[in-house]
Amino acid sequence: MRIAVGLSLSALLALGCDQGPGASGPMEVGGTVTSLSPGSAQPPLLSLIWIYDEGMGDQALGGGGTAVPAALPAKFSFTVQPPQHYWVDFDDLRALPSCTDHDPPDTRCWPADRARILGHGKLAVGGFAVFDDADGNGQYTDKPMRETLRGLSSLFVLYAQDLDAQATKELGDLMILNAGSLHPGFNFARVRCKDQVGWKGGFDPFEVVPEQPITVESLEAQSARMATHELCNNWS
């Protein structure tokens, strides 16, 4: 089956750490783990996990992390690294050929009935998660076997690189309520329930928010909040 790619798929080094949104190099983050879902006896890891596609299907790659102690609630802090992969690469998408009825399986192409994007730049999407590091490599692994998630945060990270005004407009049309608030580098964001904010798209949109502490909770706690529509997470 061919892969029709579109935006609707959602989407300090030597001198120390930059602080806060807008930092382009590694950034210090901190918060609290309040609860975790059941898992293995070994200490789980907390990481910022970058989520991306790039024509390879959904992938995940950790961007820094720390071990979580057994006694909860537990405070944490660690340095998050800039992404190596991106959820949306406008220049890559602009270069895709148009899809045809004769494309071989797994062809990356742009749907012929969809208007072409015109922007330039890249946007990465990352989420904070606690997981059992079953293979001991210090990274979240989802292929060939997915490691067990123990906790998630409703706070996301959006990393903007070289976005021009057209790309920002298109992100505002497709996935971000206030795309004009994006800074180059790191940004914090939350997913808003589309029915509550009047969003007309097919998925819940992101909203860029000020820097704030990160709270990580068990999957059960997050599911309970989603059931009451206090929280939505259908962003992709």
The predicted structure's pLDDT at residue 10: 34
8 Å CB contact between 72 and 31: no
Q: What residues contact 93, with CB distance under 8 A and at least 6 apart?
A: 5, 6, 7, 110, 117
pLDDT number for residue 210: 94
Weakly modelled stretches of the chain, pLDDT under 50: 1-19, 56-57
What b/e sequence results for 102-113 when a residue is b if at least 16 CB atoms lie within 10 Å of its CB, and e otherwise? ebeeebbebeee
Among 51, 85, 45, CA closest to 65: 45
Strand, helix or coil for residue 156: strand
Q: What is the model's pLDDT at position 175?
A: 94
Digit-coded pLDDT (tens) for 184-199: 999 999 999 999 999 9
> Parallel, antiparallel, or unpaired for β 59-67 and 88-89?
unpaired
Three-class SS state of 208: strand
| Residue 112 DSSP SS3 | coil
Give per-residue burial for 139-174: e unless 16+ CB within 10 Å, then b: bbbeeeeebbbbbbbbbbbbbbeebeeebbebbbeb
What pLDDT, on a 0 to 100 scale, did the predictor assign at position 12?
22
Kindly report the pTM of this predicted structure: 0.84
Q: Which helix (H) or strand (E) holds 4?
A: strand 3-4
pLDDT of residue 58: 54
Distance of alpha carbon 11 from alpha carbon 139, whole angstroms: 21
- DSSP-based three-state secondary structure for 28: strand
Query: What pLDDT is attached to residue 200?
Result: 87
Query: What pLDDT does residue 141 have?
Result: 79
